[in-house]
Amino acid sequence: MASNGSRKSRPLEIPLMIVGVLAFIYAFPRAIIRWLGESNPWTPYFYLYGLGLVTFLIGLRIILRARACQPGRGRDTFWFGVLLAGFIFFAVLHAAWILAALYFPFKGGA
Protein backbone atom coordinates (compact mmCIF):
# COMPACT_ATOMS: atom_id res chain seq x y z
CA MET A 1 0.00 0.00 0.00
CA ALA A 2 2.91 2.30 0.62
CA SER A 3 3.70 4.52 -2.29
CA ASN A 4 6.86 6.20 -3.42
CA GLY A 5 6.85 8.85 -6.06
CA SER A 6 10.22 7.82 -7.46
CA ARG A 7 9.02 4.33 -8.36
CA LYS A 8 7.03 3.24 -11.40
CA SER A 9 3.38 2.85 -10.57
CA ARG A 10 1.82 -0.49 -11.42
CA PRO A 11 -1.96 0.16 -11.39
CA LEU A 12 -3.04 -3.48 -11.52
CA GLU A 13 -0.63 -4.73 -8.89
CA ILE A 14 -2.61 -3.84 -5.76
CA PRO A 15 -6.07 -4.95 -7.04
CA LEU A 16 -4.55 -8.23 -8.17
CA MET A 17 -2.86 -8.69 -4.83
CA ILE A 18 -6.13 -8.06 -2.97
CA VAL A 19 -7.97 -10.58 -5.16
CA GLY A 20 -5.18 -13.10 -4.60
CA VAL A 21 -5.25 -12.65 -0.82
CA LEU A 22 -9.05 -12.94 -0.69
CA ALA A 23 -8.92 -16.10 -2.81
CA PHE A 24 -6.32 -17.54 -0.44
CA ILE A 25 -8.36 -16.64 2.68
CA TYR A 26 -11.34 -18.41 1.13
CA ALA A 27 -9.67 -21.47 -0.34
CA PHE A 28 -6.83 -22.29 2.05
CA PRO A 29 -8.85 -23.17 5.20
CA ARG A 30 -11.28 -25.25 3.15
CA ALA A 31 -8.37 -27.10 1.57
CA ILE A 32 -6.74 -27.98 4.90
CA ILE A 33 -10.07 -29.03 6.40
CA ARG A 34 -10.69 -31.32 3.43
CA TRP A 35 -7.15 -32.67 3.70
CA LEU A 36 -6.89 -33.16 7.49
CA GLY A 37 -10.41 -32.81 8.91
CA GLU A 38 -11.72 -30.07 11.21
CA SER A 39 -10.66 -31.66 14.51
CA ASN A 40 -7.13 -32.68 13.53
CA PRO A 41 -4.57 -30.97 15.82
CA TRP A 42 -2.58 -29.85 12.75
CA THR A 43 -5.55 -28.05 11.18
CA PRO A 44 -5.39 -24.95 13.42
CA TYR A 45 -1.59 -24.99 13.04
CA PHE A 46 -1.78 -24.73 9.27
CA TYR A 47 -4.65 -22.24 9.50
CA LEU A 48 -2.63 -19.96 11.78
CA TYR A 49 0.68 -20.25 9.98
CA GLY A 50 -0.85 -20.21 6.49
CA LEU A 51 -2.83 -17.00 7.02
CA GLY A 52 -0.10 -15.68 9.33
CA LEU A 53 2.50 -16.18 6.62
CA VAL A 54 0.42 -14.17 4.16
CA THR A 55 0.12 -11.33 6.73
CA PHE A 56 3.83 -11.54 7.45
CA LEU A 57 4.83 -11.48 3.78
CA ILE A 58 2.56 -8.49 3.10
CA GLY A 59 4.33 -6.73 5.97
CA LEU A 60 7.77 -7.53 4.55
CA ARG A 61 6.74 -6.39 1.11
CA ILE A 62 5.40 -3.07 2.41
CA ILE A 63 8.49 -2.21 4.46
CA LEU A 64 10.85 -3.18 1.63
CA ARG A 65 8.91 -1.37 -1.06
CA ALA A 66 8.50 1.74 1.09
CA ARG A 67 12.26 1.59 1.79
CA ALA A 68 11.59 1.65 5.52
CA CYS A 69 13.86 -1.38 5.60
CA GLN A 70 16.89 -1.10 3.33
CA PRO A 71 19.09 -4.19 3.57
CA GLY A 72 22.68 -2.98 3.51
CA ARG A 73 21.92 0.27 5.37
CA GLY A 74 22.99 0.50 9.01
CA ARG A 75 21.60 -2.44 10.95
CA ASP A 76 18.64 -3.08 8.63
CA THR A 77 20.07 -6.37 7.29
CA PHE A 78 20.39 -7.71 10.82
CA TRP A 79 16.84 -6.78 11.74
CA PHE A 80 15.46 -8.21 8.50
CA GLY A 81 17.17 -11.49 9.39
CA VAL A 82 15.63 -11.33 12.87
CA LEU A 83 12.16 -11.01 11.34
CA LEU A 84 12.62 -14.16 9.25
CA ALA A 85 14.24 -16.08 12.11
CA GLY A 86 11.40 -15.13 14.46
CA PHE A 87 8.76 -16.50 12.13
CA ILE A 88 10.65 -19.79 11.74
CA PHE A 89 11.22 -19.96 15.51
CA PHE A 90 7.53 -19.77 16.36
CA ALA A 91 6.50 -22.14 13.55
CA VAL A 92 9.05 -24.74 14.70
CA LEU A 93 8.18 -24.23 18.37
CA HIS A 94 4.49 -24.89 17.78
CA ALA A 95 5.18 -27.90 15.53
CA ALA A 96 7.50 -29.46 18.12
CA TRP A 97 4.90 -28.79 20.80
CA ILE A 98 2.18 -30.63 18.86
CA LEU A 99 4.51 -33.58 18.28
CA ALA A 100 5.41 -33.72 21.99
CA ALA A 101 1.70 -33.61 22.89
CA LEU A 102 0.76 -36.40 20.52
CA TYR A 103 3.64 -38.83 20.89
CA PHE A 104 4.33 -38.76 24.64
CA PRO A 105 2.13 -41.41 26.34
CA PHE A 106 -0.73 -40.28 28.57
CA LYS A 107 -0.75 -42.07 31.95
CA GLY A 108 -4.47 -41.78 32.50
CA GLY A 109 -5.40 -44.41 29.90
CA ALA A 110 -7.11 -44.01 26.54
CB 49 within 8 A of CB 91: yes
Task: State the minimum distance, in angstroms, from the CB of residue 109 to another protein.
Answer: 8
Q: Is 25 in the site for another protein (CB under 8 A)?
A: yes
Contact status: 45 vs another protein (CB under 8 A): yes
Can you tell me the distance from the alpha carbon of 37 to that of 10, in angstroms, rounded to the nearest whole number? Answer: 40
Instruction: Please give the angle made by the CA atoms of 88, 55 and 98, to the nearest 5 degrees.
Output: 40
Give the integer Cα–Cα distance in Å for 25 and 55: 11
CA distance 47 to 45: 5
Q: How far is the CB of 11 from another protein (least distance, A)?
A: 12
Q: Give the binding site for another protein (CB under 8 A).
A: 1-4, 25-26, 29-30, 33, 38-39, 41, 43-45, 47-48, 51-53, 55-56, 59-60, 62-63, 66-69, 73-75, 79, 82-83, 86-87, 89-90, 93-94, 97-98, 100-102, 104-109
